[in-house]
Amino acid sequence: MEIKVNIPINDYVQPTEVREEIVQAICDAFLCKNIWRVFHPFNEGAYRPKSALSFGKGGSVSFDGHMADGGVKIYPRTCEIKLAFEILIKAKYFIAKRYYYGTWLGYECYKKKSDAEHEGTIVSYFEYDID
C-alpha cells in the first residue's frame, strides 16, 4: 500500500552571502578582553543566545546574547564564522575548541599557542553548520 501526502518541497538554501561588517565583528568579539569572548555554536534551546553577536550602545561587541544596555543582537551565518576563523588563524592567532561545564562546546581565541593548547584543542577551521 502506497501512502500519498501533499507537502511542499523544502526550499531552504543555506546562506552564503558574507557580510563584511559581521566578519569584522566576529573577529572583534574573539579578541575582546571581556568574559563574553567565547563563541558557542549551539543553535537551539537555551544555548542559542551565546551564538549571537551583541552590539552594545557604546560600540562594544561580544558573544553575549543578553542585551542589557539596549543594543542589537545579530546571529552570524556559518560562512561568516568560517571566514572569521580563517582570518584569525592567518593572522597567527590560535582558536581552541573546549568544553565548559563538561559538555557545553565553545571556541576561544588565544595569542599564545601554549595557552590555547592548555585550554582545549587547537582547530584549523569551523566544522559546524549553525544556519
Averaged in consecutive runs of 10 residues, what is the pLDDT profile of the chain (131 residues)? 91 92 94 84 59 78 70 87 97 93 86 95 92 80
Determine the pLDDT at residue 44. 46
Q: Domains of the chain: which residue ranges?
A: 20-123
Contact present, 96 and 119 (Cβ < 8 Å): yes
Determine the pLDDT at residue 66. 61
Neighbours of 9 (CB within 10 A): 5
> What does the H/E/C string look like for the chain?
CCCCCCCCCCCCCCCCCCCHHHHHHHHHHHHCCCCCCCECCCCCHHHHHHHCEEECCCCCEECCCCCCCCCEEECCCHHHHHHHHHHHHHCCCEEEEEEECCCEEEEEEECCHHHHHHHCEEECCCCCCCC
Q: Sign of torsion, CA 99 105 107 108?
A: negative
pTM of the model: 0.84
How far is 34 from 12, CA to CA, in rounded Å?
36
